[in-house]
Amino acid sequence: MGGTLVLVRHGQSDWNLKNLFTGWENPGLTDKGVEEAHTAGRNLKAEGLKFDLAFTSDLSRAQKTLDIILEELGQTGLPITRDQALNERDYGDLTGLNKDDARAKWGEEQVHVWRRSYDIAPPGGESLRDTLARSLPYYMKAIQPHVLDGKTVIVAAHGNSLRSLVMALEGLSPEEILKREISTGVPIVYKLNPNSTVASVKVLEH
């Protein structure tokens, strides 16, 4: 049968705006982030999408984004599952630091390695591979079966937890996924075949 899977990164957060490593912290959305979420909801509505289920992380910026999207769709009563398996990558000792301050402390090259390598984690934190090791099994067990059952499912999460899912869905290499930017508040709509391969993908730009 196959169904529809929508992935959306939360709208711009206060710490995105300030160029801080956020990880598992809980800053709120900026005014721009709130508007991005409203726009995402309107764009999904324009596509004629209605959701059967919603999933989000344990972090408030993703939950708030999802709430706004569902409000725009008139689906505020939709069942929502929240799980920290979908949380952003944990940046460990970098959390809360301005990216420029981190470069001053550890050096540009080291910070670049932590941010843009697949399997090297910052002190006390997670690599992208670590993030994938929790988010992908959760997707396979808790989310994908609903999509393959013909349902329409939305996942509101974070840049790196969504990168993990995009990597698996699109069959990307570690090098390819590191180059993939996932914009705040922009839904990615996947139609899946019954065998879990991607039939089509559409990015709903602002």
The DSSP string of 31-97 is HHHHHHHHHHHHHHHHTT---SEEEE-SSHHHHHHHHHHHHHTT-TT--EEE-GGGSPPP-GGGTT-
188-192 vs 198-203, strand pairing mode: antiparallel
Per-residue pLDDT of the chain (206 residues; tens, 9 = 90+): 789 999 999 999 999 999 999 999 999 999 999 999 999 999 999 999 999 999 999 999 999 999 999 999 999 999 999 999 999 999 999 999 999 999 999 999 999 999 989 999 999 999 999 999 999 999 999 999 999 999 999 999 999 999 999 999 999 999 999 889 999 999 999 999 999 999 999 999 97
> CA 57, CA 129: separation in Å to the nearest integer?
18
Task: Record the pTM.
Answer: 0.96
Class of residue 195 by CB neighbours under 10 A (exposed 0-12, middle 13-18, buried 19+): exposed
Coil, strand, or helix at residue 202?
Answer: strand
Burial call 53-74: b when 16+ CB within 10 Å, e when fewer: bbbbbebbbbbbbbbbbbebbe
* DSSP state for residue 138 in the 8-state scheme: H
Contact 122, 91 (CB under 8 A): yes
List residues with catalytic annotation. 10, 88
Torsion 165-171-177-179 (CA) sign:
negative
The reported pLDDT for the residue numbered 1 is 75
The CATH code that applies to domain 4-203 is: 3.40.50.1240
State the burial class of residue 136 (Cβ atoms within 10 Å of its Cβ: 0-12, 13-18, 19+): middle
The torsion angle over the Cα atoms of residues 31, 35, 40 and 45, rounded to 10 degrees, is 140
